[in-house]
Amino acid sequence: MSRNGPAALLFHALFIAFILAPIVIVCAVAFTSKGYLSLPTDGLSLRWFRAIATNQDFVSAFWASLWLGTLSATIAVALSVPSALAIARYRFPGREAIATLFQAPLMIPPAVLGIAFLRFFTQTGISGTFIGLVLSHVIIIMPYALRLVLSASTGIDPQIENAAVSLGASWLSTFRRVTLPMIVPGVVSGWVLAFITSFDEVTMTVFIASPRTTTLPVRLFLYIQDNIDPLVAAVSAGLIGLTVVAMILLDRLYGLDRLLVGRGNN
Amino acid sequence: MTVAATTGGIAARRERLRWTPYLLSGPAVVVLAALLIVPLIATALLSLHSFALYKGIEDVYNLKNYADIFSDPYFYGIYARTFRIALLVTFFSIVLGAPEAYILNRMGRPWRNIFLLVVLGPLFISIVSRTLGWALLFGSTGLINQGLMALGLIEQPLQFMYSETGVVVALTHVLVPFMVISVWASLQRLDPQVENAALSLGASPLTILRRIILPQVMPGVLSGAIIVFALAASAFATPAIIGGRRLQVAATLAYDEFLNTLNWPLGAAIAVLLLVANVAIIVGCNRLVERRYAQVFE
């Protein structure tokens, strides 16, 4: 393999600086000790992180996001597991159409989904409720959950299940004791990816969130539209920290390169 | 157990197996039909209604909203801006993302994985946080302008906040990882032996890049471009934060019509046009890429 020349390495360094600059600046400003936006030139301070705790809007939005992500990721995975098994294990008329339908939410701009849900929820009377948020999040995160469960299910040998059945195991114990243990890594990482996607979603949610039930990214977005202060930098730095934790988790469970690029690199 | 009973049992089991995939995927299909297809059809119908300031949504069907969008320079100006921004973001994503994927691919073992993580990791960080970073760099701290002036590249501070330039820079940052993923995936399919063969036959590195690598990577660049363009054209949070309320794009326009002006039928029409343009571009370009580069996909 040929090596990169100095010009290529310079390009690479500038590219990495471009990628990291906005993330680094958010984390830096979050540690300022001043009352206004500035870089922490005279020592680090946690005052803006403490300020988050006293801001009831952000605290309740954080808990709402946490519950929303947990509930909708769980429902999305529960719906994805049987669907993934159907697509991975069976050849049946309409299989292609169903597989396309499962990927459809990815093709639709989130703003369009937000409008469609807002109208639909207003007509069905669940506009501005937490149930509405959960249902809409299940729809947009299902393709992510399905993708990982599907890739875990396609790998298993159906002969193992047939062996269990021929030895007299019921379909339930076959699923619980043979199939499920084999797809657990896909299921867990599908759940984590679905949770992150739900936790980060802003464009669709901004349409259907109400002042009473709102998520952390939406609260942050609406706050930034009015004014930018070190408080939002601290909230964002917290979000970045949580994301790094989730990424490490996903890397251990599934391998981030496999998740992002679709195959292991060697 | 008699032979007849056994065959009957097998037939019943086969009959059950025929329905199993439908039963398994049934719940998800029902949920998607009820919560995705129905709301989208309802939105398309809503876009055909009229709207009056005091009477609200009127129960008549016509194409007035679409006629309004196509005849009002304010509206098609916004669509033109959305298209222009998406095109520029796609261009810069190709110019930055494709070489970076190539350089990453040529790196040694530990560095390659580390930098792949650094480049792709931000995809997991909330768009609001990433855009806030650009707002801080452009505006409040003015670090970008200070840096550019220190380097002697500019004399006067540039206007990034509330400008298309700023939106393009921030959106390129948000979307360029998708280009890197796409080009990286196509680089993984390359056979290094072909490159070595060209080298041994006396080809210069530039010739190899132009005649061997580029043609095989092109499908990756194009499918990356489709993804980046579609996401840039429908972007909301980044244009809203960097562009502000005056610099509207299609998605922020739909938001304003729905939540500020409360003209839902017009907002629905804007959304339907955005959706149709998006699907047309994705499906159309995918067809084109697949036909043009059929041999690369085996």
Residue-wise pLDDT tens digits, B151-194: 888 888 888 888 999 999 999 999 999 999 899 888 888 887 88
Rounded to whole angstroms, the Cα distance separating B278 from B288 reads 15
The pLDDT of residue B9: 62
Window 111-170 of B, Cβ < 8 Å to A: 112-113, 115-137, 139-141, 143, 170
The pLDDT of residue B2: 47
pLDDT at B201 over 60: yes
Name the CATH code of domain A74-214 (choices 1.10.8.100, 3.40.50.150, 1.10.3720.10, 3.40.50.10470): 1.10.3720.10
Contacts of B252 (CB under 8 A, 6+ apart): B236, B239, B240, B243
- What token pair was written down for B207? 């010739």
pLDDT at B99 over 70: yes
Question: Which of B184, B175, B187 has the alpha carbon at shortest distance from B228?
Answer: B175
The pLDDT of residue B1: 42
- Looking at the structure, tell me whether residues B198 and B227 fall in a common domain: yes
Residue B201 and residue B193 in contact, taking contact as beta carbons nearer than 8 Å: no
Write out pLDDT tens, residues B203-257.
888 888 888 888 888 888 988 998 899 999 989 999 999 998 889 999 999 898 8
H/E segment holding residue B60: strand B56-61
Which among A79, A257, A262 has the least Cβ separation from residue B31? A79
Residue at a domain's end among B40, B61, B82: B61
DSSP letters for A229-260: -HHHHHHHHHHHHHHHHHHHHHHHHT-HHHHH
The pLDDT of residue A215: 93
User: Is any Cβ of chain A less than 8 angstroms from the Cβ of B188?
Assistant: yes
- Looking at the structure, tell me whether residues B77 and B149 fall in a common domain: yes
Record: contact B241-A16, CB cut-off 8 A = no
Residue at a domain's end among B20, B39, B61: B61
Rounded to whole angstroms, the Cα distance separating B168 from B89 reads 6
Question: Which of A72, A71, A97 has the alpha carbon at shortest distance from A83?
Answer: A97
Record: contact B28-A102, CB cut-off 8 A = yes
The pLDDT of residue B153: 81
Q: What 3 state SS string does B28-48 have?
A: HHHHHHHHHHHHHHHHHHHCC
CA angle A203–A209–A215, rounded 5-degree value: 75
DSSP letters for B198-251: HHHTT--HHHHIIIIIHHHHHHHHHHHHHHHHHHHHT--HHIIIIITTTS--HH
Which among A37, A109, A220 has the least Cβ separation from residue B275? A109
Please give the share of chain B, as a percent, with pLDDT higher than 70: 90
**How near does any CA of chain B get to the CA of A94, in Å?**
9
What type of residue is A48?
A: W
Domain with B89 in it: what CATH number?
Answer: 1.10.3720.10
Residue A42 and residue B137 in contact, taking contact as beta carbons nearer than 8 Å: no
Give the domain extent around B70: 65-297
Q: Which residues of A touch B46 (CB under 8 A)?
A: 119
Residue B58 and residue B51 in contact, taking contact as beta carbons nearer than 8 Å: yes
- Looking at the structure, tell me whether residues B97 and B49 fall in a common domain: no
Average pLDDT over residues B11-24: 75
Count A/B contacts: CB-CB distance under 8 Å: 270
Q: Which residues of B touch A85 (CB under 8 A)?
A: 24
Record: contact A90-B31, CB cut-off 8 A = no
Q: Which residues of B touch A220 (CB under 8 A)?
A: 126, 128-129, 132
Among chain B residues, CA nearest to A97: B29
Q: Which segments of chain A does DSSP mark as H helices, in order? A: 6-30, 47-54, 56-89, 95-107, 110-124, 130-154, 158-166, 171-174, 180-200, 205-208, 216-226, 230-253, 256-261
Query: How large is the C-alpha radius of gyration of chain B?
Result: 26
- Looking at the structure, tell me whether residues B28 and B167 fall in a common domain: no
pLDDT tens track, chain A, 266 positions: 457 888 899 999 999 999 999 999 999 998 887 777 777 777 788 888 888 888 888 999 999 999 999 999 999 999 999 898 888 888 888 888 888 888 888 889 999 999 999 999 999 988 888 999 999 999 999 999 998 888 888 877 778 888 888 888 887 888 888 888 888 888 888 898 899 999 999 999 999 988 888 999 999 999 998 888 889 999 999 999 988 888 888 888 777 777 766 544 33
Average pLDDT over residues B281-296: 74
User: Which of B95, B129, B145, B171 to mutate: most A Cβ within 10 Å?
Assistant: B129
- Looking at the structure, tell me whether residues B55 and B72 fall in a common domain: no
Question: Which of B146, B137, B140, B124 has the alpha carbon at shortest distance from B165?
Answer: B137
Contacts of A7 (CB under 8 A, 6+ apart): none
Record: contact B255-A119, CB cut-off 8 A = no
- Looking at the structure, tell me whether residues B125 and B205 fall in a common domain: yes
| Overall domain count for chain B | 2
Domain membership flag for residue B175: yes
pLDDT at B76 over 50: yes
Among chain A residues, CA nearest to B18: A92
DSSP letters for A101-127: HHHHHHHS-HHHHHHHHHHHHHHHT-T
Q: Which residues of A18-27 are buried (b: 16+ CB within 10 A; e: fewer)?
A: ebebbbebbb
Q: Which residues of A touch B141 (CB under 8 A)?
A: 25, 29, 37-39
Domain membership flag for residue B1: no
Write out pLDDT tens, residues B112-141.
888 988 998 898 899 999 999 999 998 855
**How near does any CA of chain B get to the CA of A121, in Å?**
9
Q: Which residues of B touch A265 (CB under 8 A)?
A: 112-113, 116, 188
The pLDDT of residue B10: 64
Residue A174 and residue A156 in contact, taking contact as beta carbons nearer than 8 Å: no
Domain membership flag for residue B269: yes
The pLDDT of residue A266: 35
Record: contact A202-B127, CB cut-off 8 A = yes
Window 56-85 of B, Cβ < 8 Å to A: none
Domain membership flag for residue B21: yes
Q: Which residues of A touch B35 (CB under 8 A)?
A: 117, 120, 135-136, 138-139
User: Is any Cβ of chain A less than 8 angstroms from the Cβ of B237?
Assistant: yes
- Looking at the structure, tell me whether residues B42 and B142 fall in a common domain: no
**How near does any CA of chain A get to the CA of B71, in Å?**
22
pLDDT at B5 over 60: no
- Looking at the structure, tell me whether residues B169 and B32 fall in a common domain: no
Among chain B residues, CA nearest to A197: B124
CA angle B80–B86–B89, rounded 5-degree value: 140
Domain membership flag for residue B2: no
Domain membership flag for residue B120: yes
- Looking at the structure, tell me whether residues B223 and B136 fall in a common domain: yes
Q: Which residues of B215-249 are buried (b: 16+ CB within 10 A; e: fewer)?
A: ebbbbbbbbbbbbbbbbbbbbbbbbbbbbbeebbb
